Amino acid sequence: MEAAKTEVSIKGSTKGNGKANTQKEIKQYIVIRIGGERYGIDIRYVDNIVRMQKITRVPKAQVYYKGIINLRGEIVPVMSIRIKMGLEDDVFTNASRIIILKIEERGTIGVIVDEVCEVVNLSEDEIEANTMNGSRLKDSFITGIGKSGDQLISLFEISAIVDERESM
Amino acid sequence: MDVSQYLEIFIDESGEHLQTLSDCIMELENEPDNKDVINEIFRAAHSLKGMAGTMGFKRMQHVTHDMENVFQEVRGDKIPVDSQMIDLLFKCLDAIEGYLDNIKASSSEGEEDNEVIIKELNSFIEKANGKKADDAAPEPAKEESAKEDTAKAAGDDEKKYLQVELSDKEREQLAAAKNGGLHIYGMTVVIQKECLLKAARAFLVFRAVEEFGEILVYRPSSQDIEDEKFELDFSFYMSSSEELEKIQTAAKNVSEIEQVFAEELSDFGQNEEKETKEETKPAAQGAPAEPPAKQAENKKSASAPAAKKPAAGKPATSRTIRVDIEKLDTLMNQVSELIIAKNSLVSIASTEEGSFNNQGFHDQIEYLERITTSLHESVMKARMVPIESVVNKFPRMIRDLSRTLNKKMDLVMTGEETELDRTVVDQIGDPLQHLLRNSADHGLEDTEKRIERGKSETGHIFLNAFQEGNNVVIKVGDDGNGIDTEAVKGKAIDRGIITAEQAETMSQKEIVNLLFLPSFSMAKKITDISGRGVGLDVVKSNIEQLGGDVEVKTSLGEGTTFTVRLPLTLAIIQALMVEVRDEKYAIALASISNIESVPVTDIKYVEAKEVIHLRGSVIPLIRLDRILDMEPIEDERDNLTVVIVQRGDSQIGLVVDNLMGQQEVVIKSLGKYINGNKIISGATILGDGEVALILDTNTLM
């Protein structure tokens, strides 16, 4: 329950921004870190970011599902994006967070990340479509590369993350 | 005006009337002279006709009208009821149901005129009477005029339109209409006391009369009528070029209308005088105060005849309202939240004994616990409906099957009043229907064979429903041939489902269970009724989706019984909380038969599987830690805690580490993401906010 109180609620404050900026084709991304790389998640999908909490293991579930959590009375499945992308298993630290994504029709899902860094605005010309041929498994989850200042951010294709696809 | 908003009422009510008709016609078949039944049929057909007419479904109205006519003759003892007529009546019902299905699907009744049926209906009347069918008409007219007489006798008190106070503007309007050569009619419509949607009825009345003219004055105001701010009656003035009688009849044809008082106001100036008189009364404030008093009086007199009607033979309907199931779902969710909150209070109270060691606090917690439990029960009960609504179509079905299969059979049903959650009832119809058809088609033998076997000529099919603990059990069966397990075996081997060697070692029960495999149909020839290969497997999966299960008992030559077991409710259950290692699981209390402490030395092995011997029965053991993918541990204890769960006749023992106690748990779905998980049927949130998984023990059997 304490974790719920320390949630970073970003939805309300950013939604208005996103709308005002639509004519400039600017999208907002939450930048997260997994291992040494930085990834961006389209803020439209992000419902909430919560601290690491006890995850109840669900036997016989797909390997990349760590289990389920209680998010204010809702049962939310939590996925390890590391395992889904074929990386080594998560190590939970103080910086670890669960990003709660709300996806139309399929419902709410949590994704574990190593760290939440910042929110960036990317206009369309700062995003380069993913040209890599998908030889690396994790590239198939990437829709494009965003350039914010001098750093590169891999932008997640949310539907690919959520889709049923074995990483093994 | 748009009637679509009343379509739902129409569909619901038509369904009810159709059911009444079907029941009554079945009854009539057995007792062709029962006057009460004949009257009931007449009434239902009449209401149906009126409703169809109002909604503008002309074809449906036509069929019901002719059906009503036939009953007019039957009622007058002019034609006898015979089997030919019964058959025709059932055809009528099917036709009307066809219309209704079309209406449900597309809001239009479709193009089928059902001329054949109408012709047959009319030929009945002609045959019996030697007269034209139209002759039926005078009688209802007489009846209506009789009603009018009573209306007149009732006096001016009920003619509230005489008491309407007109504003200047309204008077002008009326005068203008009158000068335009139109008749001005005053009408007061009294709605039946039992009516639930008075505004809808009022709307239907307005719609009916507006076909003839224009309504100029509403009392109460049209807005108030729309908002249902009136008691049982409302009045209006209208202008029309049509005759009063036509309009009055149209208004009366709206169902649930008790009375329509009307007359032409040739000189509403008279009214005006009365008004002015009232207005000139010294106390200007007294005038508005008086009419309500009068109204109250009128209400009494108006409701008196309304109360008489149900006594006249119509079974009193229980006072119910239709509630959108979604609203009940919301209510149920809120109760669930409350229970979770309560559970967390309970857990705080038990863990932090030191700081809350206060008698009053514990009393209140217990009080809260009682309230939430009974609140939950009430909400659950609100969602419960008798299975009657589903099973009452079966007698008709069996009757038809009896004809098509040319077997004599009889359906006996008990426990129709047994209640189940609405969502379950909605979905249980098809599986039950399938089982009954199965019994009729495959179960019962031919008449000759039955006689040969020394059984009664008429085959017996039964459907018994009753409550058993937290479950509702529905048994469907017959006294027919039973399942020929050898034939099943042979067929399974033919189809490559099992090998001949496997068949050797299979128990009777296992063989019968083969019937539930997909695409396993035992029908020797494919008939209309069953044998299309979509069969028992669909029944089984439908029932399992509802959290229930189905079992078969059969004995060759004596009959087969299918036992369907369904949970009373889907959302909240009493559960036993257990611990396996450091994980917590909930097991539905209803499935637990007992809990045993078993010494490790008592474990025996059968076919390399662990079993225990308990009071004469051999129970397979399941190590929950292994089945739940936990790392094996070495330290074996001397005594195992075994929770024995039961499903039908089979039992298994689940080995757990620790028992935590009984708790009311709210079942939450795991969502659509996690799958491949039959053992876990859901999750629940414990008092301390932790999540526990709910084990579906049925899948372990």
CATH of the domain at B447: 3.30.565.10
Whether residue B311 is contained in a domain is answered as no
More confident residue, B635 or A9: B635
Q: Are A113 and A100 in contact (CB under 8 A)?
A: no
The rounded distance, in Å, linking the Cα atoms of B93 and B39 is: 17
Q: Are B166 and B275 in contact (CB under 8 A)?
A: yes
Q: How many CB atoms lie within 10 A of CB B517?
A: 15
- Closest C-alpha among A66, A63, A57 to residue A86: A63
The confidence band for B290, taking pLDDT boundaries of 50, 70 and 90, is very low
pLDDT over threshold 60, residue B263: yes
Domain termination site, one of B357, B383, B409: B383
- Whether residues B623 and B644 share a domain: the answer is yes
Could you give the C-alpha distances from B686 to A7, A70, B277, B646, in angstroms and in order?
Answer: 21, 10, 74, 25
Pairing label, strands B459-468, B409-414: parallel
Domain termination site, one of B567, B593, B621: B567
Instruction: Give yes or no: B438 in active site.
Output: yes
- Whether residues B658 and B560 share a domain: the answer is no
Domain that residue B348 falls in: 325-383
Provide residues of B within 8 Å CB-CB of chain A: 337, 340, 583, 627-630, 668-680, 683, 685, 689-693
More confident residue, A134 or B387: B387
- Assigned architecture for domain A2-162: Beta Barrel (2.40)
Dihedral sign from CA coordinates of B524, B527, B533, B534: negative
- Whether residues B562 and B468 share a domain: the answer is yes
> Which of B438, B471, B542, B698 is flagged as catalytic?
B438
State the CATH number of the domain containing residue B46: 1.20.120.160
**With contacts defined as CB-CB under 8 Å, which chain A residues touch B689?**
1, 70
- Could you tell me which residues are beta bridge partners of residue B651? B646
- Whether residues B285 and B251 share a domain: the answer is yes
> Which of B17, B29, B40, B46 is flagged as catalytic?
B46
pLDDT over threshold 80, residue B673: yes
Instruction: Tokens 């004949």: give the residue.
Output: B38
- Whether residues B538 and B475 share a domain: the answer is yes
Whether residue B669 is contained in a domain is answered as yes
Provide residues of A within 8 Å CB-CB of chain B: 1, 54, 56-62, 65, 68-70, 73-77, 79, 106-109, 162, 164
- Whether residues B523 and B391 share a domain: the answer is yes
Pairing label, strands A46-51, A107-113: unpaired
**Mean pLDDT (chain B, rounded):** 76
Q: What is the mean pLDDT of residues B553-571?
A: 82
**Domains in chain B: how many in total?**
5
- Closest C-alpha among B385, B463, B375, B456 to residue B424: B385
B216, HSE (Cβ side, Cα atoms, 13 Å): 25
The rounded distance, in Å, linking the Cα atoms of B232 and B467 is: 41
The rounded distance, in Å, linking the Cα atoms of B439 and B634 is: 53
What residue spans define the domains of chain A?
2-162
Tens of pLDDT along A83-103?
888 888 888 888 999 999 988
Question: Is A58 in Cβ contact with B680 (below 8 Å)?
Answer: yes
The confidence band for A138, taking pLDDT boundaries of 50, 70 and 90, is low
The rounded distance, in Å, linking the Cα atoms of B80 and B32 is: 8
Smallest CA–CA separation between A76 and chain B, in Å? 7
Q: For residue A79, what are its two tokens?
A: 């996925």
Q: Highest mean pLDDT: which of A138-147, B267-276, B307-316, B577-586?
A: B577-586
Which of A69, A75, A109 should one mutate to test binding to chain B, selecting the residue with the greatest count of B CBs within 10 A?
A75
- Whether residues B88 and B165 share a domain: the answer is no
Q: Are B28 and B45 in contact (CB under 8 A)?
A: no
The confidence band for B253, taking pLDDT boundaries of 50, 70 and 90, is confident
- Could you tell me which residues are beta bridge partners of residue A78? A67, A110
Question: Is B628 in Cβ contact with A69 (below 8 Å)?
Answer: no
Whether residue B309 is contained in a domain is answered as no
- Whether residues B284 and B416 share a domain: the answer is no
ipTM of the complex: 0.78
State the CATH number of the domain containing residue B651: 2.40.50.180
Tens of pLDDT along B107-145?
777 777 777 777 777 777 776 665 444 444 444 444 444
